[in-house]
Amino acid sequence: MGRKKVRIALLLLLMLVISRAMWMRLQPPAPASIMRAVPIGLVPQAIAVDQRTHRALVVVNGSLEGGSGRVDVFNTRNGALLRTVPVGIGPWAIAVDEQVAHAFVIDPGLNAAGHTVSMLDTGSGRTLRTISVPKDPIALAISERTARVFVAHQVNDTISVLDALSGTLLRTTRVGKSPMGIAIDEQTSRVFVSNQASHSVSMLDAATGAVVTTVLMSGGWPSSPLVDSPVGRVFVATQAIDTRGNPIGPSTLHVLDARSGAERTTFILSRNAGPVAVDERTGRVIIVQTPPTQPNGRGSLNGSVSLLDPRTGRIVHSTNIGTDIGTVVIDELRQHILVTSRDALSVLDARSGTILRTITTGGGTGNVALDQKTGIAFVSGEKVPNQDVFGWLRIRARQLFLPDNAHTVDQQALPTGIVDVVDTATHG
Per-residue DSSP letter, 396: H
191-206 pLDDT tens trace: 999 999 999 999 999 9
**The predicted structure's pLDDT at residue 394:** 46
Nearest Cα to Cα of residue 123 among 34, 74, 55? 55
Angstrom distance (rounded) from CA 42 to CA 386: 16
Per-residue DSSP letter, 31: P
The SS3 call for residue 382 is strand
Segment 380-399 mean pLDDT: 52
Nearest Cα to Cα of residue 175 among 150, 153, 157? 157
Work out the mean pLDDT of the chain and round it to a whole number.
83
Angle, alpha carbons 293-297-299 (nearest 5°)? 40
Q: Which CA distances in Å does 99 have to 96, 121, 150, 195, 340?
A: 9, 12, 16, 29, 28
- Tell me which of 349 and 32 has the higher pLDDT: 349
| b/e per residue 383-404 (b: at least 16 CB within 10 A) | beeeeeebeebebebeeeeeee
Q: Which CA distances in Å does 87 have to 91, 113, 130, 252?
A: 7, 15, 9, 38
Per-residue DSSP letter, 219: S
Maximum separation of any 2 CA atoms in the chain, in Å: 80
Angstrom distance (rounded) from CA 238 to CA 256: 13
Nearest Cα to Cα of residue 353 among 335, 368, 334? 335
**The predicted structure's pLDDT at residue 175:** 98
379 contacts 420 by C-beta, under 8 angstroms: yes
The dihedrals phi and psi of 390, each to the nearest 5 degrees, come to -70, -45
38-57 pLDDT tens trace: 988 777 889 999 999 999 99
Per DSSP, what are the bridge partners of residue 246? none
pLDDT grade, residue 138 (50/70/90)?
A: very high
The dihedrals phi and psi of 401, each to the nearest 5 degrees, come to -105, -5
Residues in Cβ contact with 47 at an 8 Å cutoff, skipping those fewer than 6 apart:
56, 57, 58, 59, 94, 367, 368, 369, 378, 380, 419
Nearest Cα to Cα of residue 229 among 202, 260, 257? 257
Residues in Cβ contact with 158 at an 8 Å cutoff, skipping those fewer than 6 apart:
134, 172, 173, 174, 175, 179
Q: Got the DSSP string for 326-380?
A: --EEEETTTTEEEEEETTEEEEEETTT--EEEEEE-SSSS--EEEETTTTEEEEE
Angstrom distance (rounded) from CA 289 to CA 303: 6
**The predicted structure's pLDDT at residue 402:** 42
Q: Is the pLDDT of residue 427 over 60?
A: no
Angstrom distance (rounded) from CA 289 to CA 255: 18
The dihedrals phi and psi of 170, each to the nearest 5 degrees, come to -90, -45
Per-residue DSSP letter, 287: E
Segment 124-144 mean pLDDT: 95
Angstrom distance (rounded) from CA 419 to CA 44: 8
Q: Got the DSSP string for 164-197?
A: TTT--EEEEEE-SSSEEEEEEETTTTEEEEEETT
365: exposed, middle or buried (Cβ count in 10 Å: 0-12, 13-18, 19+): buried
313-350 pLDDT tens trace: 899 999 998 778 888 999 999 999 999 988 899 999 99
pTM of the entire predicted model: 0.83
pLDDT grade, residue 271 (50/70/90)?
A: low
**The predicted structure's pLDDT at residue 223:** 92
101-112 pLDDT tens trace: 999 999 987 655
